[in-house]
Amino acid sequence: MNFNQPTHPGYEQFTQELSSLISLYPPPFIYVNDVQSYRTTTSVIDDILEDLSERPPSLESPTKIYHARIDGVASSQWGLDREGDDGTRWNENLDSFLHGLRALHTQLCKLGVEVAAEGTESYEGICFVIVVKQAEILKDALLELMAPLPCLGEMAQLIICVVFISQVRRKDIKPPLGAAPEPYFMDIGSPTKEHIVKHLLSQFSTLSTTDASSSSQSITPYHPSLLPLYRHFTSVLCDVCFPFTHDPQDLAYIAVASWPGYAKPVLDEHRRYLAAKANEMDLDVDGELEDGEEEQERRRQDALALKPPGEDTRMRLTRLFNPSLSAALEVLLPRLSNAAEWAALNEPPPDLLAMPHGPPLRPVIPAAAAPSDITTGTANAPVGTNSALMTMGTLPRMARFLLVAAFLASMNPAKSDLRMFGRGLDEKKRKQRRQVARIKSKAAAKIPQRLLGPAPFPLDRLLAILGALLEENDAETRLPAPEFTIPGEYTDMEIARVGVLGLINQLTSMRLLFRTSPVDRLDGPPMYKCSVGYDSVLGLARGLKIPLNDLLWDPV
């Protein structure tokens, strides 16, 4: 890697600092924290270590660098999966792992002596760099390795640099009682919009290398002549997506899915131009036989050259594809679909620029991202402002009942529960909700709850409303249970399951429910709010065949 011209814009200072540390005097423990763009940082560290391991010896860097990620160390990348002299595997436990590192160091030292004798290289020592990706997983899966891993160099008496890469702060996964040494801490800041645009442009340059020498018959969206248009496209894409994600790889994934459709009208227009120009060239050649072959070849090359579109064409493409970029963000960022499927479904019609000016293109949502059982229309309805439907489409049936119950608990006053969900004398019909008389009064009118927003409700009230909904709308779908003879006994068993409480926590983590009471408060039940809108809940209620408007105290 040429550090003067980095392939990862925005990481210049980090690249220089980490390469200097490892090449000159590697610390035993480095902790790299990146909250926004973890995967990009991991690839940057891999490139740095790969470059350091291939550098020739010098006075500034006399140490030979060997690097591997922790999965490669434990497998066969360094040969630590083989057996030692006593028959034990070197990756079986921590002690055998240390013996394996020492044996590997001895083997590499012998190899270095042989190489030095030949006069090709001369190193003063060997440095092992072990990279641990997603170090926060060790706290839950391998807690016993949190303390010894940073001390591998001290325990093995070798030059070992352990690098932890994590999205979690060090204090959150630090072993208690000072069991592990303090690391050299490196904090990666959030990439700016300019750095992300440069990162996307560098990927375009890589993909367009093969197109530079291709013929006009094989022009792709990554042709070098389309670089100005791609620069404009990345600027528009960052304006749409930057408030929601700062990860360059996420934005690159959305760009790969959206760019072929964005460039297709320009390529279609160029093909139409080539067809018309070919006819003109044939006529000119027939009428001017005195022209030489070189002049004909020059004219043909000029005609086949792809030219970047003008400002008017770029503005028209932006207006046509802006809704598609917003929809791609909502579908591709949570990986509800893949880039290939999105590009195939949202391919624009042929010769789009030759058509009269019309409204923006309507994005087509994959069926897996927009289930038809919770939408009010077709499965391919636009999702510009309704991404909650896509999230709720993967929820189980009980979770959907919970969301409807939470919405009713937030919108109905607590005193109306008996009237709205209680049964009459015939045990079949509920009492009708109150009829609001339209009487002119000088007193101030009460503001409906839907205008005030959702109100908090306790957990026991949510479970009570859930039981009423299950008893009224889910009894027909249950399996026969002759052991339950008392009415409502089966429903009481269902709402008392631990899985229901687990679903409430899951909905809270998905921000479909909002907990208003502190987690550590012991007095009183936990309080919640429903953060899902009326339209989304209405789609859920229709899928569950629940008359939502009949259960609202102030119907819409």
pLDDT in tens, 186-215: 999 888 899 999 989 988 888 776 555 444
The number of residues in the chain equals: 556
Helices and strands (H and E) in the chain: how many: 22, 8
Residue 90's pLDDT band (cuts 50, 70, 90): confident
Is the pLDDT reported for residue 336 higher than 50?
yes
Residue owning tokens 């019309």: 358
pLDDT digits (tens, 9 = 90+) for 245-265: 888 889 999 999 999 999 999
Residue owning tokens 């949570």: 334
> Residue 134: left (phi > 0), alpha (psi -120 to 50), or beta?
left
Give start-end residues of each CATH 1.10.10.2450 domain in the chain.
389-422+448-550
Cβ atoms of 381 and 375 within 8 Å: the answer is yes
Percent of the chain with pLDDT strictly greater than 70: 72
Rounded Cα distance, 24 and 11, in Å: 20
Give start-end residues of each CATH 3.40.50.300 domain in the chain.
11-190
At residue 258, the pLDDT reads: 92
At residue 286, the pLDDT reads: 46
DSSP code, position 6: -
414-418 contacts at long range (C-beta below 8 A, 24 or more positions apart): 414/457, 414/461, 416/553, 417/461, 417/464, 417/465
Q: In whole angstroms, how large is the CA radius of gyration of the chain? A: 33
What's the CATH code, domain 389-422+448-550?
1.10.10.2450
Encode burial over 137-166: b for 16+ CB neighbours within 10 A, e otherwise: ebbeeeeeebbbbbbbbeebebbbbbbbbb
pLDDT digits (tens, 9 = 90+) for 494-507: 888 888 888 898 88
Lowest mean pLDDT, pick from 8-22, 44-58, 141-155, 293-307: 293-307
Lowest mean pLDDT, pick from 450-454, 478-482, 496-500, 506-510: 478-482
Say whether domain 11-190 belongs to CATH 3.30.70.1290: no
In the predicted model, what is the mean pLDDT of the chain?
77
Across 21-30, 172-181, 266-275, 481-490, which has the greatest mean pLDDT? 21-30
Is the pLDDT reported for residue 73 higher than 70?
no
Lowest mean pLDDT, pick from 4-13, 265-274, 309-318, 534-543: 4-13
Question: Euclidean distance between the first and final Cα of the chain, in Å?
Answer: 63
Percent of the chain with pLDDT strictly greater than 90: 10
At residue 82, the pLDDT reads: 57
Cβ atoms of 134 and 70 within 8 Å: the answer is no
